[in-house]
Chain A
């Protein structure tokens, strides 16, 4: 199974909104509403930001939102803050009863 495709980097100024895409196939992203997103600061454990495409775990800011269209899922960060600077990974359940992660996106706050 191939990794889901994400842009290598996305940047924005404080207060702006950015969107990270995550493209897969009908065997993963397009076939299931089991897309999740993780924020990963180097040297720390990943943090779940979105699960089942649109759901935010308790404690995650409502500035983070998720969506999906066809084989592409998206994570939008609104009101960008300096603390949002991190790597972000999408993940999807797949038709082989496994999980695949995205290639990762480095978010830079200008």
Chain B
């Protein structure tokens, strides 16, 4: 059974860069699309961006200027960087796998990482 294990700093100051990593265990990494999704406290889910099997990326237009998603295929990992964070970036961040065949849905999710931005 594929599992996603994610980690990263949980407390940031305004203007710092958020950095999270997601590792894929017991499953294929290559050939799948991978995404990051977040949920601010008391609010709904928001898609942040994705990385495809070729290493190409796509981002939420509202976050594009601050987001970078990358991968390390030798470690079966992909990462999220979000620069110049503010309190509005406080959220639980999830990594997620797209369904096979590049389908536009997310079938496997990480456990979530709470990231708080506060001075």
B29 close to chain A: CB less than 8 A:
no
Chain A 12-55 interface 0/1 with B at a Cβ cutoff of 8 Å (1 = within): 00000000000000000000101010101000011110011000
A52 adjacent to B106 (CB under 8 Å)? no
Q: Which of B59, B94, B109, B110 contacts A98 (CB 8 A)?
A: B59
Q: Which of B59, B61, B99, B110 contacts A51 (CB 8 A)?
A: B99
Determine the residue in chain A with the shortest Cβ distance to B62: A1
CB distance from A87 to the nearest CB of B (A): 9
Q: Chain A residues with Cβ under 8 A from B103's Cβ?
A: 51-52
CB distance from B97 to the nearest CB of A (A): 10
Bound-state CA distance A100–B35 (Å) is 13
CB distance from A35 to the nearest CB of B (A): 9
CB distance from B72 to the nearest CB of A (A): 22
B88 close to chain A: CB less than 8 A:
no
B46 close to chain A: CB less than 8 A:
yes
Determine the residue in chain A with the shortest Cβ distance to B64: A98
Chain B 55-78 interface 0/1 with A at a Cβ cutoff of 8 Å (1 = within): 000111110000000000000000
Q: Which residues of A contact B (CB under 8 A)?
A: 1, 3, 32, 34, 36, 38, 40, 45-48, 51-52, 57, 89, 91, 93, 96-104
CB distance from B53 to the nearest CB of A (A): 16
A98 adjacent to B112 (CB under 8 Å)? no
Bound-state CA distance A40–B37 (Å) is 13
B44 adjacent to A100 (CB under 8 Å)? no
A51 adjacent to B62 (CB under 8 Å)? no
Since A1-B62, A99-B104, A102-B44 are in contact, a sample of 18 more A-B pairs with Cβ atoms closer than 8 Å, ordered by chain A residue number, is A1-B61, A45-B111, A47-B109, A48-B107, A57-B107, A89-B44, A91-B45, A91-B47, A91-B105, A91-B106, A97-B58, A98-B60, A99-B35, A101-B37, A101-B46, A103-B44, A104-B44, A104-B45
A38 adjacent to B107 (CB under 8 Å)? no
**Given A51-B99, A98-B58, A98-B61, residue A46 in contact with residue B105 (CB < 8 A):** no
What are 15 A-B pairs with beta-carbon distances under 8 A?
A1-B61, A3-B44, A34-B104, A34-B105, A48-B99, A48-B106, A51-B103, A51-B107, A52-B104, A57-B107, A89-B45, A98-B60, A99-B60, A99-B104, A102-B44
